[in-house]
Amino acid sequence: MALNGQGIFSRTAEDEEKDAQSRLSNWEGEAWKEWPVKAQFEGLEEHRGPVQLSVKGSIPSWAAGSLFRTGPGQDRVEGTSKGTHFISHWFDGIAHSHRFDIVPSETTDGSTSVVYTSRRHSDGAVAEIKKKGWRSSISFAQRADPCIGIFGKVMTVFTHGKSNNNVTIVPDMPGADDIKEGELSNGKALYVLTDSATLSKLDPKTLEPIGNASQTSLHPSLKGPISCAHSQRDPETGDLFNFNLELTGPHPTYRIFRVNAKDGSVDILATISGKDYPAAYMHSFFITDNYVVFCVQSTHFAWSGAKILWERNILDAIKPFDKTVPYISMDAISYENADIMSVFYYDIMLDRNDATRKAMIEGQFYKSAQHRLSRYRFRIPSSRQSPAEKASAVAQEVLSIPEPHVGELPTIHPARTGKPYRYVYTTNSRGLYIFGDSVAKTDVHTRGAVLWSGPKGHSPGEPVFVPRPGGTDEDDGVLLSVVLDGTLEKSYLLCLDARTMEELGRAEADFAIPMGLHGAHQARGHL
């Protein structure tokens, strides 16, 4: 059965090798040329709303609430002192956040309506670019202006007022400031995070930016400029976990901390520093019921992190990948090297000047940037073991599921966080486009996969799992994903039955919505 068409595809472990080869063949056949995506990267507009979307089918009333999403928006800044400033890497697109309100009907028919609003919230970064004609604050991968001298590079810092946080969005963050009466909406601010210690605060109703904060506002010891975009939350207590990386001193210092949900107090759980713990780019980490699992990955920064200031971006400051350096993780989307981060330049994603073929085919990124879902088992060292025995402990890969039977931006039932689980949902690529051309449900017990695919050019974003209240089965819920119809250049909020992967309904917009990164659903009654 070919995976290239529209519909629902059920695959087994026996299909893995054949489907992986089909994906490579799609790349070699340049299938991306027939997959329109321009509308979710270029010419994007704010819709400050509320905008009523047209609902087709049915979205369950028990899924009512707000779906918040964030990610890169505009790929350029017009009218700067030097003309149009073009942003080179997708991760540096101007931050743009979204809110979909799923509203139950007041009648008994069970129907729901969907209202949408969106807003850009990096006004400081945009103002800086307009004034100078280039971006001087730290970015993820924007290349430095060759006209900038050594002094300008060295003086570059992570500047709180110029943040462009666009990776994850956190409703009801413990330790966060309440919005006082008279300051827009009452209640907890939304916080938008990236891989720095700067936190962007948004009004939860209008998404209007209301300032920035630093992790030092949580605890004075969290004074480093780098952190993790994916904080982890204990599903039972609501406590939030993250780390802070300080680059000063003889060695970088990691501080792993917990923000207590009850009172907002902060505990520094561990302080780690030394020659064996180099500064590294780490986009996520892990928690279990009892442990924070912190892995210093092989994406080490050069010059103990000081090269970030020289390059003024994260990607170019990472040392060449050294596959001889061992590292561990738990269940993770694994890559053989760091090439995947170079795939997301706008030129490649939009195939400008034949850049997709040059990078993916001639540069062989379509092979080197392949991923898999890996499960690494690591035995926690005993207190009775010697330091040498503890240091020699090695993780074993006990499960490996290749794409296209699993994709990126993984999500599970939120109650299974830190616990054994069976199903993971991802944005999947069958080789028809660089990033997402389908949504996959993967069974880590049987290695089977069920894929949902819309018509050609329908690109889904991250699926967010919303559990049915009172449901007992792990897959009893719905998936919410924002999908671009690249042909019509319009987007819709897709609602899939998480058990069967069949479409239940969609809420259609008359415009394109940016291809975002991550989101969070907040149930009705918690807004």
Q: What is the DSSP letter of 468?
A: P
SS3 call for 287:
strand
Cα–Cα distance measured from residue 450 to residue 500, given in angstroms and rounded to the nearest whole number: 8
Cα–Cα distance measured from residue 160 to residue 256, given in angstroms and rounded to the nearest whole number: 21
Longest dimension (CA), the chain: 67
Question: What is 169-195 written as a DSSP string?
Answer: EETT-TTPPEEPTBSBS-EEPEEEE-S
- CB atoms < 10 A from the CB of 267, how many? 12
405 is in an annotated binding site: no
- CB atoms < 10 A from the CB of 222, how many? 21
283 is in an annotated binding site: yes
What are the phi and psi torsion angles at 518 (to 5°)?
-135, 160
SS3 call for 492:
strand
Q: Which residues lie across from 377 on neighbouring strands?
A: 396
Q: Which residues lie across from 242 on neighbouring strands?
A: 257
Cα–Cα distance measured from residue 279 to residue 273, given in angstroms and rounded to the nearest whole number: 10
Of 502, 497, 462, nearest in space to 482 by CA: 462
Which residues are within 8 A (CB) of 217 and not within 5 positions of it... i.e. 6 or more apart? Answer: 199
Give counts: helices (H), strands (E), the chain.
Answer: 9, 33
3-state secondary structure 102-170: EEECCCCCCCEEEEEEEEECCHHHHHHHHHHCCCCCCECCCCCCCCCCHHHHHCCCCCHHHCCCCCEEE
* In contact, 78 and 100? CB cutoff 8 Å: no
518 is in an annotated binding site: yes
Give the burial class of 382: count Cβ atoms within 10 A of its Cβ; 0-12 exposed, 13-18 middle, 19 or more buried: exposed
Of 410, 455, 461, nearest in space to 432 by CA: 455
Q: Which residues are annotated as a binding site?
A: 230, 283, 518
Residues contributing to the annotated binding site for Fe cation: 230, 283, 518
